[in-house]
Amino acid sequence: MSELSSRVLVTGASGFIGNRLCQVLLDSGYTVRAALRRPSQHLGLAAVEHVIVGDIGSDSRWDESLQHIDYVVHLAARVHVMKESLRDPLTEYREVNTAATAHLARQAAGQGVKRFIYVSSIKVHGEATAGRPFFADDMPDPQDPYGVSKAEAEQQLRDISEQVNMEVVIVRPPLVYGSGVGGNFLRLMQLVERGVPLPLASIHNARSMVSLNNMVDLLVRCLEHPGAANETFLAADGMDWSTPALLRCIAQYMGVSVRLFPLSPAFLRLAGRVSGQLGAVNRLCGSLELNINKTRELLDWVPPQQPHEAVRQAVDAYLGDKLPSAETKM
């Protein structure tokens, strides 16, 4: 529980993680200020103060947003794009994810912010694991422009923290899922619901994920825990899924049968390469394991939500969104 006077600025507050984080921070006794791109992104939380910052960049003005702020949780980013169409995506990622982050951190330090929590990405480590999980203190090895921009932002934040009196905490999550999830997890739910036959019965991989509730709980822990100061943490549920096991779990909570048949991973990867979908195939077939022992030990943190319960919540929210409203039924 925080002192009532502690004030937190959340960037990217209207997003999947940010909206939930603002709610939990309020419940935990913090005063919350949400940085939003547009007035239309109002969170619907009366106790949250809103500031409109527009599209963030290396020259954004944060003066008003940072006044009397104790902690910053920086979620806003140019997110990873599955099919990148820009000729020079790295430049675009660097402007928002690297330069804008460093710019915000310098202004935050100048305004007396105590601690800056940066939500990075597991892509800083790479795209897959083989026989050994990623550890928080492994050397970065990003494989795409998004991962590169996040790794560079992390290094700039470390450099800034050495020069000013502001602590920096870096959190690297894998896929975050839960009520209202989009992206790859949403696509899996759609495939299961439609009964699409999937050639994944022969896949024996292991992938770490983190539920929305666990991710938010960890971010709140990072705000004031003394063990978090100037450290880097991996975020995960502590249980890994094979792709077939996850699909079966989704199907169970939907009350349907999942249709899986076997094809060799080598054949699937060949098909992915020919079709230009190798990245998507690798995510379905490959492993991505995270070791969160450092997170557990330094922060005295145990993920509070069980993964199966988080999957159930995601499925319930997905199915609930598809039900007709009361007005439609009448």
Active-site residues, by number, are: 146
Q: How many CB atoms lie within 10 A of CB 213?
A: 20
Amino acid occupying residue 265: P
Chain-centroid distance, C-alpha 179: 14
Report angle CA 17, 19, 24 to the nearest 5 degrees. Answer: 90
User: To which H or E segment does residue 214 belong?
Assistant: helix 212-224
Q: Is 112 left (phi over 0), alpha (psi -120 to 50) or beta?
A: left
Residues 6+ apart with CB under 8 A from 212: 16, 17, 20, 176, 177, 178, 179, 180, 181, 310
302: burial class by Cβ within 10 Å (0-12, 13-18, 19+)?
A: exposed
